[in-house]
Amino acid sequence: MPEDTSSALADLPLTMSEAGTGRPVLVLHGGGGPATVAGLARHLSRTARTLTPVHPGWDGTPRPARLTGIADLALAYLHVLRERRLRDVLVVGSSLGGWIAAEMASRDSTGSITGLVLIDAVGVEVATEPIADFFALDARGLAEHSWHDPDRHYVDPAELPAGELARRQANAVTMRLYAGDPYMHDPGLLARLGRIRVPALLLWGESDRIVTPAYGAAYADAFGNGRFEVVPGAGHLPQIEQPEATFALVDAHLHRTGSPSGHR
């Protein structure tokens, strides 16, 4: 995808990849970084205008000191939509990106967003289904919690090139800054979701142990217009483990939703 740096706010240089034409789709990555949604973004760009930012602070990108929470990112991305005069936007977010998407929809005063897809999203507190403590897990534990087939996806940190290990460690530090306190959720978000009337599809890997399918079902139920779908044979990143099934569900939601008046 072509990549450019656009100013979301006066002091925020934003790294953004853009490709394709059609309805605007904003694709938001999770804590693992932009590579975790790259395949999904490429797929969507075949039929939609796909914008894929790198959250400030990830992969060595600059993060202004005032950006310290997920709500700050949500407001910045809403500004991007207004700055570019984008309407009829579908926002797709994976994990932490799903939380950003939900926060954006709860704050969208101009009606720019007309659909949501949250993929194994964090962001709310479900008393009976606590979010696994990502920061307390070693690499093997993280693989066991994240993947349906952990043996296939586990990578021994000792075998990683020094640069890649440093990138992952720096991303984890950035994620802790944005989402470490309170841990991986906004205490008020669950109560606000009922006011979001745009269609929200929540996709969940059946084997996710970071946020369980029961957590996802409760998340979906809180939306004013939410729907819950389980992806078999997948964990926390179904777009990687089961791309065909995941892409088909996202495509259907893309075509099912949207404003009759179209987009710009």
Cβ neighbours of residue 100 under 8 Å, at least 6 residues apart? Answer: 28, 55, 70, 73, 74, 77, 93
What residue segments make up the domains of the chain, in order of their start?
A: 3-256
Percentage of residues in the chain having pLDDT higher than 90: 91
Task: Place 13 in a pLDDT band, splitting at 50, 70 and 90.
Answer: confident
Distance separating alpha carbons of residues 94 and 118, to the nearest angstrom: 6
Is the pLDDT score of 263 beyond 70?
A: no
Which pLDDT belongs to residue 98?
A: 98
Architecture field, domain 3-256: 3-Layer(aba) Sandwich (3.40)
User: What residues contact 204, with CB distance under 8 A and at least 6 apart?
Assistant: 119, 120, 211, 213, 216, 217, 228, 229, 230, 231, 238
Residue 258 has pLDDT above 90, yes or no: no
Residue 264 has pLDDT above 70, yes or no: no
Residue 1 has pLDDT above 60, yes or no: no
Q: d(Cα 53, Cα 46) in Å, to the nearest integer?
A: 18
